[in-house]
Amino acid sequence: MPGTYSQIYIHIVFAVKGRENLISPEWKDELYKYIAGIIKAKDQKPLIVNGMPDHIHVFVGLKPSMKISDLVRDIKNNSSKFINDKKLIRGKFSWQEGYGVFSYSHSQIGNVYNYILNQENHHKKKTFREEYLDFLKKYEIEFNEKYLFEWID
């Protein structure tokens, strides 16, 4: 029987609203596992979820039937609800609007996985703003600074 076969690997990056450092070391692993669970529940393959106190990186093996925008919406909505329901921060938690998404070939999985795994070391040398702008430039994505994340300087 004929079927559809694919290998689509995407790297998603999104930030905490206002780029505040709200993701605490005490509960970040629980959040990352929860986000991986959201991805699995959508019948997609979470490869790694990691980040910093102000932003998250998600690497996913995506089936062609899944719209990236739907997956990101569900990750952000459900993880915000998780943080708020558990009262992990004072006040209301939310993610900033928008996100970055970048695609990779199968041969790049190891490099992307290690890049996301080593976020803390990476950000000793480069700010999130520098990292994000580098992605946009590397992938030749046209952008208007006015519509990028709210940056805290």
User: Is residue 60 domain-resident?
Assistant: yes
Give the domain CATH number at 17: 3.30.70.1290
User: Is residue 52 domain-resident?
Assistant: yes
User: Is residue 87 domain-resident?
Assistant: yes
In this structure, are residues 47 and 59 in contact, taking their beta carbons and an 8 Å threshold?
yes
Q: What would the 3-class secondary structure string for 60-75 be?
A: EEECCCCCHHHHHHHH
Domain total in the chain = 1
User: Is residue 51 domain-resident?
Assistant: yes
Q: Which domain holds residue 126?
A: 8-147
Q: 14-18, 69-73, 128-132, 146-150 — which is least confidently predicted?
A: 146-150
CB atoms within 10 A of CB 97: 12
User: Is residue 1 domain-resident?
Assistant: no
Tens of pLDDT along 25-43?
A: 999 999 999 999 999 999 9
Tens of pLDDT along 112-148?
A: 999 999 998 878 888 888 888 888 888 888 888 777 7
Give this prediction's pTM.
0.89
**CA–CA distance, 56 with 81 (Å, rounded to integer):** 16
The sheet that has 45-52: what strands, in order across it? Answer: 45-52, 55-62, 8-15, 100-104
Tens of pLDDT along 77-120?
A: 999 999 999 999 999 999 999 999 999 999 999 999 999 999 98
Query: For residue 153, what pLDDT is reported?
Result: 54
Query: For residue 1, what pLDDT is reported?
Result: 47
**CA–CA distance, 43 with 60 (Å, rounded to integer):** 11
User: Is residue 153 domain-resident?
Assistant: no
